[in-house]
Structure 1
């Protein structure tokens, strides 16, 4: 059976890219909420969002932050990073800006782990491939992600207990 992970990401900006990651089928992630289901959770307030995160992350073996252009600015992503660190879950990042979202790629985003309180150095893997002219090749990027995601998922770091 595939390794189970919790994917942390910026929903509005990157949901199409996250679908591509899930379609790799190398790992089993939490069910993705559609925008209506997410709004239902969000309308019930911050505690409902925290409860959803806790429930979805509870039995996952690792947390992978899928890093797009604006991921580091999202408060719930930072919360998920801090929770994973506190729970001593293996934590890592994978850059997804080079995957196509409705036909376009994005610029790389900043390191979200640097914004999380008390989190140490966390590995970030970048499958982005550029062509001869320096443009991102989204198909080659997807292929590199597909070929490496499972191996990368076992290289997360945890908070030390000392």
Structure 2
């Protein structure tokens, strides 16, 4: 889930949160954006190695992956919201003072060239001082008429969205 992303000339270490089984193909496309812009390519996230481990092993892995990150990018697919480990990652990112941003990826094709239906906002159900986290964290549904144009929209804007998420988090 770790990836270096160029944001306004600054290298940012970001954590990617996504539903692995349903969206790993789409997520791999998004995670490769930094490589396209000359940053270090995203490596396999290692989830396969820990997903069947103990809860503590998974928590330790998430903590290690988040270490040194300034922002968590939640890639929102049709089944992302409400998942145990996605919720845990959102909570941990917020508690660590990381920026949080959501990007809808239902319009990005998977390995069999299919898109999916839009998912619910995964930040619903979290509160910060009686304010819904979904009112604080911004989510983006990339514009475009097909997967390629949506990918281009994400590629052009992800750095700005990350910087914005970090600035928003710094206000809370």
TM-score, length of structure 1 as denominator length:
0.84
Q: 5+ unaligned residues in a row in structure 1: which ranges? A: 131-136
Which structure shows the bigger proportion of residues in strand conformation? 2
Of the candidates 130, 145, 148, which is equivalent to residue 157 of structure 2?
Answer: 148
Of the candidates 144, 162, 171, which is equivalent to residue 129 of structure 1?
Answer: 144
Q: 1:23 to 1:38 in 2, by over 3 A?
A: closer
Equivalent residues of 1:61, 1:90 under 8 A apart? yes
Of the candidates 48, 73, 76, which is equivalent to residue 67 of structure 1?
Answer: 76
Q: 1:63 to 1:152 in 2, by over 3 A?
A: same
Of the candidates 107, 123, 144, which is equivalent to residue 113 of structure 1?
Answer: 123
What does 1:6-155 align with in structure 2 at a 5 Å threshold?
Answer: 6-25=15-34, 31-33=43-45, 37-102=46-111, 103-116=113-126, 118=128, 120=133, 121-130=136-145, 137-155=146-164
Superposed displacement of residue 43, structure 1: 2.8
Runs of 4+ in 1 over 4 A off after TM superposition: 26-30
Equivalent residues of 1:4, 1:28 under 8 A apart? no
For residues 76 and 92 of structure 1, what CA distance do their matches in structure 2 show? 16
TM-score, length of structure 2 as denominator length:
0.79
Superposed displacement of residue 115, structure 1: 3.0
Superposed displacement of residue 30, structure 1: 6.4
**Residues 75-130 of structure 1: per-residue CA shift (max 9 Å, x gap):** 10000001111111111111111111120111110000013354622100111423
